[in-house]
Amino acid sequence: MLRWLWMTLCLTLSSCGGGGATQGATQPAAEPGRYISPQYTTGQLTTYTDVIYSTRPNVGGSQYTSDINMPKELGGAVLNLKLDVGVPPNATAANPQPLIILIHGGGFSAGGKEDYRQAALSYARAGYVAATINYRLTPNNINNATARLTAITNASDDAMNAIRYLKANAALYHIDATRTATIGNSAGGGISLINAIEFDTFPNTVSDYPGVSSQVAAAIATGATLIDRTANFDSYLRYQATDTPVLLFHANPTDSITGATWVGNVLPTQSRIDASGNTCGVVAQADMTHVVDLSPDGIWWSSLKPFLWDRLRLASMP
């Protein structure tokens, strides 16, 4: 068992979609209680780093799995997709705990699982099993529809397999696989939304874990919608009542990075999800923000907590 110390860093900003809280916000006092505020120290966590969950060909040698790995992965034939997991001491074989999977941003071309270490640390210290994942990154995809669709598809394929890996290994990490949520910012938010609507069925994705679904109980996003300015993947999305419920945080009226608007992007995304019989709650961020801090000790916790409490059935946890 590998043990490592997750750094208590501020959430790293990535180009075209990094993390960070709204400027000028005041940090409230922590609310006491498990799944709400820190119950454990970092040293009490059992942690696993750089766990390989999938391997994919590096077509043309042009892709990589993170900013850190890019120098050694460019030009290579294959990519090993990795994740990190933090397991709190309340998670045991007899008492498995809810899982939070954090998906970083970066425009599908930058970032890495390290960007979400601080948020993952916050969740693990509060009593959740927490994971942060890498996925394939594709350079120069912003203004090229074909490259953009490839980037979105590859990233979604990887994230789905990361979810399946964690479910398939629930006993190892003491996870209650029926209580799983994805939280993504920017590109990671888009991945969280796509998996909510097309878990297991997004075109050109392949499961590495037959019989294990990537469906989760809750999908949360900040700085993303299901309407992309470069690649139209509407035909890939079939909205159904059995999809995963969504909570969507977004700038109102305009996102500072993507240019997406509340009226043109957020409300249509919500309408499509709600019309299917599924549900999509929306939370307005300040105008010209991009992403916000969705950790349990962040200023947006009061909006996030009721959704997690309901979807992960936390009130029934011992």
Express each pLDDT in 75-115 by its tens digit. 999 999 999 999 999 999 999 999 999 999 999 999 999 99
Handedness of CA 74, 75, 81, 84 (dihedral sign): negative
Percent of the chain with pLDDT over 90: 88
Percent of the chain with pLDDT over 70: 90
Band (pLDDT 50/70/90 cuts) for residue 21 is very low
Q: What is the mean pLDDT of the chain?
A: 91
* Contact yes or no for 43/213 (Cβ under 8 A): no
Answer left, alpha or beta for residue 20, where phi above 0 means left and psi between -120 and 50 means alpha: left
Answer left, alpha or beta for residue 118, where phi above 0 means left and psi between -120 and 50 means alpha: alpha
Alpha-carbon gap, residue 220 to 193, rounded angstroms: 7
Q: What is the pLDDT of residue 32?
A: 66
Does 229 score more than 50 pLDDT?
yes
Alpha-carbon gap, residue 63 to 183, rounded angstroms: 24
Instruction: Give the DSSP letter of residue 24.
Output: T
Band (pLDDT 50/70/90 cuts) for residue 31 is low
Band (pLDDT 50/70/90 cuts) for residue 297 is confident
* C-alpha distances out from residue 99 to 46, 65, 221, 224, Å: 14, 23, 16, 22
Burial class (CB in 10 A: 0-12, 13-18, 19+), 53: buried
The CATH classification number of 88-316 equals: 3.40.50.1820
Band (pLDDT 50/70/90 cuts) for residue 33 is confident
